[in-house]
Every structure is written in structure tokens, then in C-alpha cells.
Structure 1
Amino acid sequence: MTQDTDITQDASRVAQSTEIRAALKAKKTVVGVDDVISALQKDAVSKVFLSNNTSQKVKERVTYYAELTGTRVNVFPGNSYDLGVVCKKPFMVSALAVKK
């Protein structure tokens, strides 16, 4: 990786982390793959974040329901552990959604 790519990824991580923390503070989040998919089926979320190490099967399922509802899916530039830290959870988080 080049230094420019590293800077871009860091900026993306900071921007997404800030957005996630704001949603957490407003208590407008859904955490966990099953809960995120359930919320997508109800068209109750505006945005989804997936960790960069989420399994392909989960990515496909979440993307399928997101496309049906027109919800944007973002890949968080960190693994499940990093996303859990941003969410201030004592466990790994593969999927997180922001409620409408």
C-alpha cells in the first residue's frame, strides 16, 4: 500500500467511526447480523456498516435485503474487533445498522 492509500483509509475510518458514535449516542443503532437483517426486512434502517472481515455469505444476505429497500451498505475499514471497539462493545461486531 502506498502512503496515500493509508491516509485515505484512515480518513474513511475516522469519518465512519464519527457517524457510528453519533448514532450510538442517539440510540439509533441495531447491532448484529440477525437483527440488522430483520430491520432491513422491515425497512427500518437508513445505512448498514459491515466489518471488512464479514463472511461472504453474510455480505450477500445483507446486500440482498439492502438492495430491496434501497439502503446503503458501507464496508467499515477495520475488522469485527475494531467495529466492536468503535461501538464500545466487549465483543466483535460484524454488522451494524443506523435506524431511520
Structure 2
Amino acid sequence: MDISVKIKKAETNGNLIIGLNSVMVAVRQGNLSDVILSSNCPGNIRDDVTYTAKLSKVPVADFDGDSSDLGEICRKPFNISVLGLSEKKA
């Protein structure tokens, strides 16, 4: 399934977790099915999220657009670098 379709489906169901801190907590708790990083996500954040997700066996996907494109797909008026798709409504 295309990443954009997954994001839109999760957004309509209320299953999006936005932001580094919230995503990291959810990854550690095992509440995410996917983590999505924007193409311009800073390297240190990308490394931290990827490492933590790998330990928790959560797949990490790279979004083709930058953080403003990711924010637009999520219908938010701000940039999003790190996004989590929750397994159930948070």
C-alpha cells in the first residue's frame, strides 16, 4: 500500500501520532504499526528513530516529500518530520 494512502486512512481514523517525542514514546510502548520520516528529517533524529524502531521491530518508511508535504497530507498547518501510525486509536 502506498505511504500516502496509509497516512490518509490513519488520519481519518484518528490513528496518527505526530512529533518526535510522542512517536518515540509510542515506539517504546509498542503501540505503532509504522513510523514515517520526511525526506528532510535531520540525520540525528533519523538515526535515533530508526534505532529505536529497529529495537521494537517497527518498520520505518521514508516519505518522498519534505516535512511541509507531510504536514499537508495530514491536513495540518505545520511541518511534520516524524509521524507514527498507531495500531489502535490513541
The alignment of Structure 1 onto Structure 2 pairs a total of residues equal to 87
For each residue in 1:24-81, what CA deviation from the matched residue of structure 2 results, as whole angstroms up to 9, or x when unmatched? 1111110011111111111110100000000010001101110111000000000000
| Mapping 1:27-38, distance limit 5 Å | 27-38=14-25
- Stretches of 4+ aligned residues off by more than 6 angstroms: none
Please give the TM-score of this superposition, normalised by the length of structure 1. 0.84
User: Which residue of structure 2 lines up, in the alignment, with residue 78 of structure 1?
Assistant: 65
- Structure 1 or 2: larger helix share? 1
Q: Give the RMSD, CA atoms, in angstroms.
A: 1.1
- Structure scoring higher RCO (CA < 8 A, sep ≥ 6) equals 2
1:40 corresponds, among 27, 30, 54, to: 27
Rounded Cα–Cα distance in structure 2 between residues aligned with 1:51 and 1:83? 7
Residue identity over aligned pairs, in percent, reads: 33
**Runs of 5+ in structure 1 lacking a partner?**
1-11
Rounded Cα–Cα distance in structure 1 between residues aligned with 2:34 and 2:44? 19
User: Which residue of structure 1 lines up, in the alignment, with residue 51 of structure 2?
Assistant: 64
User: Which residue of structure 2 lines up, in the alignment, with residue 91 of structure 1?
Assistant: 78
1:16 is aligned to 2:16: no
- Larger Rg belongs to: 1
Rounded Cα–Cα distance in structure 1 between residues aligned with 2:59 and 2:68? 22
Please give the TM-score of this superposition, normalised by the length of structure 2. 0.93
Rounded Cα–Cα distance in structure 2 between residues aligned with 1:39 and 1:80? 20
